Amino acid sequence: MIAPQIQRFFLFCSQQMCSSSRSSTMKKVILRSLRTTKRPAYPFSVSNVTISSATRVRCESSKTTIGAHQSKNLVSRVPRPTRKTATTSPDYVIAPRDSQFVTLSDGRRIGYAVWGSTSPNAKIVCWPHGLPGSRLSVHSWDQWGKSTGLTFICPERPGYGLSTLKKTYSVFEHAGDIRDLMQHLGHRQYKLFGVSGGGPYALAVARLASQGEVIGVLLVCPTTPPEGPQTGQSIKSFFWEMKLTFLPQLAERDLRNDHEADRKAWIAAPSNEIIRKRPKGAKILAYREGWSAFAGRIADQKAMIRPWGFRLEDVDARKIIILAGGLDENTASLGAQYMRNRLRNSTTIVKPGENHYSMQINHDTCIKESLLGL
C-alpha cells in the first residue's frame, strides 16, 4: 500500500513544479502544508450532509434471508455473508422511510433511506452519499423526486448513521453491499447517481451489476482514482491524503479535535422532533450525522485513496455522464477527463469558473436534467 502512495507523492510534486513558475519554493510550500494541515479538504456539498449518531435506534430484524451477489469474471471476490430482510425503524429522523437497514449474517448493519416518489411505477435511482454523508444526504431532493416520479435509495457506508463500522474495506467490497440491498428491495433496473465521494461507489456498483441492470450513471465532481492525475488538486487536500496514509492516528486526532466543539453541541442538542420544526431543521439533522461519524469518515477516506478494486475500463453501463467544475480543487476536472478516457459510453461536461461546491449549487438544473435524461 505504501509504494503507490509514494509514487503519487512524486508524481504530484513533479506536476506542481512543471506547472508553476514558483518551483524553487516547492519544498517550503510542502513543509508548511504538513505543519498546518488540520481540516480535511474532502468533498462536501450543501446536499451531502447528515444526522447525529445519538439518533440511532435499536430494532430487530426478521429471519428471512436474501442471497449474496455474484461477481463478474476477472474480478476476485471473497464470498459474502447472506443478508436478512430490511427493518424499518419505529422512529424517523427527518421523514418516514429514512431509518431502515439490512442486517448481515455477521451482525453488521447497512443503513439506508428511501426518498422521493412512493409510486410502484417510479424510476429507481441508487444514490451513494458523498464524503462525509449518510442516508439523509438526499433529503433536499425528496419533493423533486415526488414531482418527477423518481425514487432515491440512499445506502450508508460503514460507520455512518445506522451502518456498523468496518475499519478496512475497499470501494468494490462495499459496492457488493449496495447491490445486494438493491436486489433485496426488488429493484432489477435502476440508475446510479454519485456526487463527489459517492462517485467511486456508483461506478463500482455499475462494474458489479449484470448486463442491463444499470440504466445509466451520473457523476458530479467525482473523486479521482488514486492512480489518476493530481494536477489541479489543492496542496492542502493532497497532503491530507498523505497524512491519512502514513500518519492515520495523527489524522484522526486532528479530525476529532477540529470538531470537538461541534460534537459537544450535538450531544446537548434537543430532540429530533424539536429540531425538525426549526428553520433549516432538516439540514441540521442531516449535517450532524456525517460529521459526527469520525471513525466512519476515516475508514471512508482511506478507502478512497487505496486501490478501488476494479478497472474503469471494465465498467459496463449504457450511458455515463460526468459533470465537473473547471476550478474544482477537491476533485480536479483533469481527473474527470482521465475517467472519461477510460469509461465506455461516457461523456464529460466541464463548467468553467465553477469549484467543487458552486458546481453543485449553480448548476442544479443541469444536474437534474442530466439525471432525468439517463
Model confidence pLDDT, tens digit, residues 184-207: 999 999 999 999 999 999 999 999
Give alpha helix (H) positions in 113-192.
142-148, 171-184
Among 70-79, 100-109, 302-311, the range scoring the smallest mean pLDDT is: 70-79
Q: Residue 68 contacts by C-beta under 8 Å, 6 or more apart in sequence?
A: 79, 80, 81, 82, 83, 180
- Rounded Cα distance between 4 and 97, Å, is 42
CB 164 within 8 A of CB 107: yes
Element of type H or E holding 201: helix 199-208
**Per-residue pLDDT for 183 more than 50?**
yes
Nearest CA to 338 among 230, 237, 238, 216? 230
Q: Quick one: average pLDDT of 101-125? A: 92
**Per-residue pLDDT for 79 more than 50?**
no
**Per-residue pLDDT for 76 more than 60?**
no
What is the per-residue pLDDT across 7-62, written as a single tens digit (0 to 9) for each? 555 555 544 444 443 334 443 433 343 333 333 333 333 233 333 333 333 333 33
What is the per-residue pLDDT across 210-227, written as a single tens digit (0 to 9) for each? 989 999 999 999 999 989
Triad 51, 57, 62: Cα angle to 5°: 130
- Rounded Cα distance between 88 and 59, Å, is 8
What is the per-residue pLDDT across 321-364, written as a single tens digit (0 to 9) for each? 999 999 998 888 899 999 999 999 999 999 999 999 999 999 99
Would you list the domain boundaries of the chain?
53-230+301-373
Q: pTM score, two decimals? A: 0.75
Q: What would the CATH number be for the domain defined by 53-230+301-373?
A: 3.40.50.1820
3-state DSSP helix/strand/coil % of the chain, to nearest 5: 45, 15, 40
